[in-house]
Amino acid sequence: MNKKQAKERIEELRKQVEYHAKKYYDEDKPEISDFEYDMLMVELRNLEKEFPELITKDSLTQKVGGNVKEGFQKVTHEVPLQSLQDVFSIEEVKDYIEKIEQKAEENNIKQVTYVVETKIDGLSAALEYKNGQFVRGATRGNGAVGEDVTRNLQTVKTIPKKLKDPIDIIVRGEVFIAKSDFEKMNQEREENEEELFANSRNAAAGSLRQLDSKITEKRPLDIYIFNVQKIEGKEFHSHYEELEYLSKQGFNVNPVRIYCKTRQEIEKAIQKIGEERETLTFGIDGAVVKVDDLKFREILGTTAKTPRWAVAYKYPPEKKETKLKEIVCQVGRTGVITPMAILEPVKIAGSTISKTTLHNEDFIKEKELKIGDTVVIQKAGDVIPEIVAVKKEKRTGEEVPFDMPTTCPVCGAPAIREEGEAAIRCTGIECPAKLFRNLVHFASREAMNIDGLGENIIAQLLRKELIKNIADIYMLKLEDIASLKKNGQKFAQNLIDSINKSKENDLHRLITALGIRHVGTKASKLLARKYKNIDNLMVAELEDLSAINDIGPIVASSIREFFQQEQTKDLIEKLKKAGVNIQAKEEENSDNRFEGKTFVLTGTLEKYTRGEASNLIEKFGGKTSGTVSKKTSYVLAGEEAGSKLTKAQNLGVTILSEAEFEEMLH
């Protein structure tokens, strides 16, 4: 490769690593594996080594990745939190040790000792203590400047608030989430159909860097301390001695630290950690070799980015081949149908894998998966197993293509995939898999507004099998609810009253509560106004529905399909028998002064909430929108109106004050 080619490739690599570093360090949402990122860095580092004249100060090979997140105070580290030089083979470890031994010989040091530790897969942080009291905690950031996350770190139970000795000390540790806790978090997120954390490191980083410490407190964060950054009034001779002292002070010190005297012992330690990594309760992404003698460390010094007295050996990701025996489909709480691969059990990275998610229909098509295929499995981040490839050359012709179901595997209702979406969803309102979410929505404030019937109570009612469908809410007895709480009579009576009150709700609330896809509060009001009762709406033709302003063909189709289902008809009959109102209560309004007018609300109004103002506009035949355009008739601007007001001024849209709006109402 000539210099011109090298320059082009270096520039390309820098763009890639900067993009992925931002995703990893700043957004905690990596798009590639650690190994893939490491390989990009290795290629960049090797090219810069071959063409040193092309090295620039802003290259990520010369500095630590990561920036301070907006909303956090900046902390300048008294002692920089540097990153480690990575190596990927035992040969590179040997080369590193040889250089250290050569440097020792030059300085008349007869014996060099080392400590080999686990490289914990988490987020680095510095903890500062004054007179033995925890006073401040900060993330690594870019190594020189980090984020003040003191309040968040105070929620981590394994961080001592007070040390045994009244010392001034700064220590460095790795904040992480244990494997079992991580798996539990992802399982809960999968059930709630939330985006899964890519790996435990990103889960820990995202949890620690929350602007709201109450969110952090709910996350199972832990920490292992692995270094003394600075200490006043006490001197140590070795790193191992430091760690022993920190342990006695009450710190949760990295539990895997192997004292070594020779290169052979170092290699055995690395091998031992690699063999036992799956038995560890926490995730690791390598082993760190550190020079033990602190005075020799001073002689070795550091570069701008890394210490010369330590190196990190990265274990390669393990891949195995196995058979894809079957594909089964699971239904999540919101009705998303997710395909799951059932595999011939295979041991990888120390654990036996027998199944893994296939995400969605597009993933199966992209990989061209067939039942019976030989597939390659890898554990992403050494935690989540995934299919990374299909061995098509091993096909026998007996493999069977897989098609996603057209009906829900749990309840048999139609399963649909809408345009622009990757997910296929169950549409059945009585589907047992969706029941929890359907109940939560039905009782919510914007729907039937059943005060006291929140997620926790619904979960208890389901667990005790006191409700098995939505209509069962209206069959609950006082004693059933009272049994959920100690001295729960008053709570039970209040909830019964709220349930009974909800029977009298206007029709539009019931339509909202049914959770018809694409039908929110505004559309529910339009439907209630036009059809007057639920029976008329249930038999409404597609053409009539599509003709309603702001409904459109997609929403109309969703409404029609929903009411044609047997599950929907069954639920409506049950609600009628329970005494739930199915009639529109709103009187015919002949005053349509705002007909054909579109309002956009911005800022804070003095007399009305936005919801109240919207209701008034709709009452007089107008409609509201969330965005300003040339078609907007008026922008109702309250205090602290923002960009919408500016856009309206630029477009020449009429801007109303609250007083002017009131004049229009009277």
C-alpha neighbours within 13 Å on the C-beta side of residue 214: 0
Q: Give the DSSP per-residue string, 418-460.
A: -TT-S-EEE--TT-GGGHHHHHHHHHSTTTT--TT--HHHHHH
Please list, in sequence order, all residues whose beta carbon lies within 8 angstroms of the beta carbon of residue 657, skipping any fewer than 6 positions away.
Answer: 637
| Annotated catalytic residue within 119, 305, 370, 379 | 119
Structure token pair of residue 640: 């602290």
Q: What is the DSSP string of 174-224?
A: EEEE-HHHHHHHHHHHHHTTPPPPSSHHHHHHHHHT-SSHHHHHHS-EEEE
Strands 133-139 and 310-313: unpaired
Residue 561 and residue 554: Cα distance in Å, rounded? 11
Query: Which of 177, 246, 254 is CA-nearest to residue 208?
Result: 177
Q: Which helix (H) or strand (E) holds 317?
A: none
Q: Which letter, b or e, does each residue of 461-498 get, where b requires 16 or more Cβ atoms within 10 Å of its Cβ?
A: bbeeebbebbbbbbebeeeebbebeeeeeebbeebbeb
- Residue 347: active-site member: no
Given the structure tokens 């045994």, which residue do they identify?
164
Task: Render 357-411 in DSSP notation, one character per residue.
Answer: E--SHHHHHHHT-EET-EEEEEEETTTEEEEEEE-GGG--S--EE----SB-TTT
Q: Compute the chain's Rg from CA coordinates.
A: 31
Strand extents, DSSP E, 451-609: 598-602
- What one-letter code names the amino acid at 394? K
Q: What is the DSSP letter of 25?
A: I
The residue among 160, 161, 204, 163 whose CA lies nearest residue 182 is 204
Evaluate the CA torsion angle 525, 528, 534, 535 in order and state its sign: negative
- Phi, psi for residue 310 in degrees, rounded to 5: -150, 155
> Using an 8 Å Cβ cutoff, are 476 and 503 in contact?
no
**Alpha-carbon gap, residue 568 to 579, rounded angstroms:** 17
Q: Nearest-CA neighbor of 607 among 663, 536, 545?
A: 663
Residue 44's closest CA among 83, 11, 86? 11
Chain-centre distance for alpha carbon 414? 30
Pair of tokens at residue 15: 């763009």
The number of residues in the chain equals 666
The catalytic residues are 119
